[in-house]
Amino acid sequence: MPTQAPDILILFGTNLRRIRKDKGFSQRELSSRCNIDNADISRMENGAINITLTTLQQLADAMDIAVWELLVPRL
């Protein structure tokens, strides 16, 4: 039986996708900007992969945002 991703992974993935699109980046472009595999970007956006703090910082830096923006619910 498949397990459901923890809520924080779903929230993070939703925020990552929204911010990436708001910034006008494709998954491929974002992966290139932060040297992360394109497939991993997709898995992150789908809540299917748990990332390190280093990766979180790389993503935030690549999109010129604060780390917290990837972790809090949108108001």
CATH number reported for the structural domain that contains residue 18 in this entry: 1.10.260.40
- At 6 the pLDDT is 84
- At 5 the pLDDT is 66
- At 75 the pLDDT is 73
Angle of CA points 20, 60, 3, to nearest 5°: 70
In a domain, 1, yes or no: no
- At 8 the pLDDT is 94
In a domain, 2, yes or no: no
Half-sphere exposure of 34 (CA within 13 A, CB side): 23
* Cβ-based neighbours of 3, under 8 Å, separated by 6 or more: none
- At 4 the pLDDT is 66
Say what the pTM is. 0.91
- At 2 the pLDDT is 55
Count of domains forming the chain? 1
Range of the domain at 60: 7-70
In a domain, 25, yes or no: yes
Are 60 and 69 contacting, i.e. CB atoms less than 8 angstroms apart? yes
* Positions of the chain with pLDDT under 70: 1-5
